[in-house]
Amino acid sequence: QSLLQSQLGMMLNMSIRVALAVALMINIDAFLKLVVTPILAASIIGAIAAPFTFFVGQALQPIVFSICFYGFDDPFVVAALEATGGKERLLLATSAKTGGVAEWHEMGFFNKYFTRWCIKTAAGVIVGFSGLASAIPLVGSVFTALLAGWAVAWDMVYVPLAGIGRVGILRQGASVLAHFWEYYWFGFWAVLIEEIPIVGPVCHVYNVYSAAFFLERVYTNNDNNLASAMEGLLGGKEL
């Protein structure tokens, strides 16, 4: 019963956040079309820029998402792992690799707040700067996804990645580097579909849920030699 209540609470939380994000995107789009565009169109120079106001709204999507989904992604991806059994499979794979009993690692205060904030901020900055390319019609969204996808993917799985023993920026960075292309392409498609107007918030929730399966797919297979070597060089240090 408590699990059912928890799931219902998560679904309600998700629905409210998606509705809020969609409402904000609709209002921003309406403001740009009904207010900004006519003002620009009234001038000779502005008339040239007026058609691009739609893409300005697209560039603002990451800011809307960061506000509406604040504090949502981390518990949701962990809940998805628990609901699908991925958490147990990840721990079994980790146990088979280390030869010991694998336990879910809870991050300490420093890693939970400071380093987590650093990764999320870094991902936001990368998305923000590369998102400026969204003002370029058609190719801008693809360019944004190509630049920022890997960082978005890392941000999505930061907490469960720490849960299976990759605690700290150095150790996680080594693992992300070793599996870079998996992170790159998962993040590329995740960012790209979130650029779809209006339904982007729904796609964001889908991406966070899919991140649980992505993590399981990458880490239930044996880590390649590069990952093991790099993590070994770090000597279990955390940053």
Report how far residue 57's alpha carbon sits from residue 37's, in angstroms, rounded to the nearest whole number: 12
Q: Which residue has the higher pLDDT, 151 or 35?
A: 151
Report how far residue 147's alpha carbon sits from residue 93's, in angstroms, rounded to the nearest whole number: 31
Summarised one tens digit per residue, pLDDT across range 70-123 is 889 999 999 999 888 888 889 888 787 767 667 888 888 888 888 888 888 888
Report how far residue 44's alpha carbon sits from residue 20's, in angstroms, rounded to the nearest whole number: 36
Report how far residue 151's alpha carbon sits from residue 183's, in angstroms, rounded to the nearest whole number: 8
Longest pairwise C-alpha distance within the chain: 71
Residue keyed to tokens 């309406």: 30
Q: Is 10 a residue whose pLDDT tops 90?
A: no
Question: 82: buried, middle or exposed (CB in 10 Å: 19+, 13-18, 0-12)?
Answer: middle
Task: Write down the pLDDT at residue 238.
Answer: 41
Task: Write down the pLDDT at residue 237.
Answer: 43
pLDDT band at 58 (very low <50, low <70, confident <90, very high): low
Question: 39: buried, middle or exposed (CB in 10 Å: 19+, 13-18, 0-12)?
Answer: exposed
The tokens describing 175, both together, are: 């693992």
Q: Are 32 and 59 within 8 A, CB to CB?
A: no
The tokens describing 107, both together, are: 């991050």
Cα dihedral 6/7/8/13 (nearest 10): 90
Task: Write down the pLDDT at residue 76.
Answer: 92
Q: Are 165 and 94 within 8 A, CB to CB?
A: yes
- String of DSSP letters for 132-146: GGGGSTTHHHHHHHH
Question: 18: buried, middle or exposed (CB in 10 Å: 19+, 13-18, 0-12)?
Answer: buried
Q: What does pTM read for this prediction? A: 0.79
Report how far residue 18's alpha carbon sits from residue 43's, in angstroms, rounded to the nearest whole number: 37
Q: Is 223 a residue whose pLDDT tops 80?
A: no
Report how far residue 100's alpha carbon sits from residue 102's, in angstroms, rounded to the nearest whole number: 6
Q: Are 154 and 172 within 8 A, CB to CB?
A: yes
pLDDT band at 236 (very low <50, low <70, confident <90, very high): very low
Which of 77-91, 205-219, 221-235 is least confident?
Answer: 221-235
Name the DSSP letter for residue 107. P
Q: Which residue has the higher pLDDT, 124 or 2?
A: 124
Which of 40-44, 167-171, 200-204, 231-235 is least confident?
Answer: 231-235
Which of 80-94, 147-161, 206-220 is least confident?
Answer: 80-94
Summarised one tens digit per residue, pLDDT across range 171-205 is 888 889 989 999 999 999 999 898 887 888 999 99
- String of DSSP letters for 130-186: HHGGGGSTTHHHHHHHHHHHHHHHHHHHHHHHHHTT--SHHHHHHHHHHTHHHHHHH
